[in-house]
Structure 1
Amino acid sequence: MSDFNQQQIPILRRGFRLQWEPVQGCHVLLYPEGMVKLNESAGEILGLVDGERSVAQIIADLSRKFPDVPGLNEDILAFIEVAHAQFWLQLEA
């Protein structure tokens, strides 16, 4: 991950909101220009983005919840990197 370290705290950018969409049967990320339909993994990760947990804490929480998933850490880091590149998240020191 080139843009941030695991001690940084991800937060949703202003204007973005995560919510469960019953009609879609999944979490969605709403923003002024539209909506992103999220898969289950992305919903789990963004559900822990609360402005208090660091990237490392999110990884630890999901590793406890899903202990038998191989490569989970790398998948979480990759998603956060993509979400940051897409301007869904900002990272605080």
Structure 2
Amino acid sequence: MITEASIPRLARGVRLREDAARGRTVVLAPERLFVPDETALAVLALLDGARGAGAVIDMLAAQYDAPRTEIAADVLAMLEELADKGVIVT
């Protein structure tokens, strides 16, 4: 389970790349490709393996001037889903 204390990072072999054909950033994983929406991309771009999920939440709440509790619920749910898919690890 991912908590605010978790330190998520992209899993081995997973990369964010600009895709000229699609005109956007995609997530490349072994034998898979994901096209994240803008919200997921904002979260994924902050995962550096050093910053905790709580810090990511704080940064997004400040960036979007949104209530931290709402951002926290959405980000933690998204990170859990991405972990289940093998896109991120903690």
TM over 0.5: yes
Q: Alpha-carbon deviation of 1:25?
A: 3.0
* 8 Å contact kept, 1:27–1:39: no
The letter of the residue matching 1:67 is: D
Q: Deviations over 1:10-63 (max 9, x none)?
A: 011111001232432332110120210110000000000011110000000101
Change (3 A) 1:54 1:34: same
Q: Number of residues paired by the alignment?
A: 89
TM-score of the two chains, using structure 1 as the length reference: 0.86
Over the matched positions of the two proteins, sequence identity in percent amounts to 28
1 CA distance for matches of 2:89 and 2:32?
Answer: 19
* 8 Å contact kept, 2:8–2:88: yes
Consecutive unaligned residues of structure 2, counting only runs of 5 or more, are: none
The letter of the residue matching 1:30 is: L
Consecutive unaligned residues of structure 1, counting only runs of 5 or more, are: none
The letter of the residue matching 1:74 is: A
User: Is the deviation greater in 20-29 or in 8-17?
Assistant: 20-29
* 8 Å contact kept, 2:14–2:30: yes
1 CA distance for matches of 2:60 and 2:20?
Answer: 23
The letter of the residue matching 2:27 is: L
The letter of the residue matching 1:75 is: D
TM-score of the two chains, using structure 2 as the length reference: 0.88
Change (3 A) 1:11 1:64: same
* 8 Å contact kept, 1:21–1:27: yes
